[in-house]
Amino acid sequence: MGIIINRNKIQDVVKELRSNNQTIVVTNGCFDILHVGHVRYLQETKSCADKLIVLVNSDKSVRAIKGEGRPVNNENDRAEVLCALSAVDFAVLFDETSPSKLIDEIKPDVYTKGGDYTLDTLPERDVILKNNISVKFIKFVEGKSTTGIINKINNN
């Protein structure tokens, strides 16, 4: 079971992992209504390193990105559900719309993002290149999305 880490404690966690020669992979997202696409994405992400740290958009951050009415599930519930997945070692909430600052603090070995991005369109590109972080783009599971689930519920 994963652990929810307070943002101001993440440096301690990273330091301990590094002292044990463990590699770190980071990804980020809202993870509002967890579905099979999320699960497969996180499993593949975990296969890239010893430890997976998921950077979770806070409620404030999700509203800024997705608009009013989102998220459906609050930040603490979303982080706890993520930590129940075997692939997830740690979850950290962040308030910004971009995880760049947190990625810069963690400096993971690998960063993953959905397959709809390229290095050129990656919002975190500058921090990734600055810190020489390896990037892996992970293919989406077709037809699986939180927005799709919300639309299906609203149309029934």
User: How high is the mean pLDDT of the chain?
Assistant: 93
Contact 29, 56 (CB under 8 A): yes
Domains in the chain, please, with CATH? Answer: 3-154 (3.40.50.620)
37-86 pLDDT per residue, tens: 899 999 999 999 999 999 999 999 999 998 888 899 999 999 999 999 99
Residues with Cβ < 8 Å from 81, sequence gap 6 or more? 31, 34, 73
Q: What is the mean pLDDT of residues 120-137?
A: 96
**Distance, CA of 135 to CA of 133 (rounded, Å):** 6
Is 73 within 8 Å of 81 (Cβ atoms)? yes
The pTM is what?
0.92
Q: Which two tokens stand for residue 122?
A: 């990656």
Q: How confident is the model at residue 149 (pLDDT cuts 50, 70, 90)?
A: low
Cβ neighbours of 79 (radius 10 Å): 24
Q: Residue 91: which residues within 8 A CB-CB, separation 6 or more? A: 2, 3, 4, 5, 53, 54, 55, 56, 79, 82, 83
- Phi, psi of 92, rounded to the nearest 5 degrees: -130, 125
Question: For 78-90, how does the pLDDT look when each residue is reduced to its tens digit (9 = 90+)?
Answer: 999 999 999 999 9
